[in-house]
Amino acid sequence: MRPLVLVLIIAALAAGLAAFLAKTWLQREADAQTGVGAAVTEVLVVAREVPAGAMLAPEDLRFQRWPTQALTPRLVVRKEGEDVKAPYLGMTVRHTLTEGEPFSPLQTFRPDKAGVLAGLLTPGMRAVSIAISNPSAVSGFVTPGDWVDIVLAADLQKENEQNKGQGQIVRYAAETVLRDVKVLAIDQQITRGRDGGAIQGKTATVEVTPKQAEILTAAELIGNLHLVLRGAAKDGDADIQGFTPDTEASQALRSLTHPVKTSSATPAASVEINRAGHISREGVVR
């Protein structure tokens, strides 16, 4: 019996040791994930959502513990005996700040150093204003910070050279001239309302490249520009190709401008003829 008892004791000790090692390993992994035992530093973070163009207030920023090994030069670190938050209060925000994200001085600018709109521009980009109406701006629901496509609707009134003399005229057409463009302002409003309500305006200012600015300027001379609101999630533009003529939008217009030609010799109906018991089918021209 003694050898059997000894084997059981050894097995119990081995199981206990294995359980202890497993628990120790799991605890170390949990500590590594939560940062327990690691050096931490307090950094400045955004305390609440701040819209683009707004000035920073004291309640917009707070300090939060941050792993020291994850610090970067762009972060603002808390220093003993120094108010590191004060220099950034009153500065204007370049883009919307999300609650909880680390704050960086690069996200702001001083209004006395640059105009508000100039400060909001991404380096290398330009601001261009285009005329809009309530229907052409999605009933006023396009607001600063949204992303849009810009569609040109033109009354061409130009005869198609391939069908000259046949009375076939291309009148209207629409095409997307720019895609995924950021709206900076509606009239002189550069931030969306806290309630997210519609903004009625006569001009929309968008952020574009220098080349896109030329495209928009030329497009306004050709026809009317419409803003097409894009969703918050980024998607592709695989379904946007070429342009859309009026005949593609209207089946009736397509029928009038492209009538179906039928030959007068084409039988429109047929009858059966019995000639002395011999039955044949013959076409009848209408």
pLDDT score of 69 more than 80: yes
In the chain, the domains with their CATH numbers are 40-117 (3.90.1210.10), 125-257 (no CATH)
As a whole number of angstroms, the distance between CA 158 and CA 283 comes to: 43
Reported as half-sphere exposure (CB side, CA atoms, 13 A), residue 5 has a value of: 2
18-27, 55-64, 237-246: range with lowest mean pLDDT: 18-27
What would the two tokens of residue 274 be? Answer: 């019995």
As a whole number of angstroms, the distance between CA 36 and CA 28 comes to: 9
- At 114 the pLDDT is 60
Selection from 110, 107, 142, 116 nearest residue 228 by Cα? 142
- At 285 the pLDDT is 46
For residue 66, which phi and psi values (nearest 5 degrees)?
-140, 135
State the burial class of residue 6 (Cβ atoms within 10 Å of its Cβ: 0-12, 13-18, 19+). Answer: exposed
- At 5 the pLDDT is 57
Helix (H, G, I), strand (E, B) or coil at 99: coil
pLDDT digits (tens, 9 = 90+) for 119-160: 778 888 999 999 998 888 888 888 888 899 999 998 876 545
Confidence of residue 55 (pLDDT cuts 50, 70, 90): confident
What would the two tokens of residue 141 be? Answer: 């629901």
Averaged confidence pLDDT in the chain: 78
Contact between 78 and 102 (Cβ < 8 Å): no
pTM above 0.85, yes or no: no
pLDDT digits (tens, 9 = 90+) for 154-176: 887 654 555 555 555 567 889 99
19-23, 39-43, 116-120, 251-255: range with lowest mean pLDDT: 19-23
Helix (H, G, I), strand (E, B) or coil at 146: coil
pLDDT score of 26 more than 80: no
What would the two tokens of residue 163 be? Answer: 């069908």
Contact between 198 and 140 (Cβ < 8 Å): yes
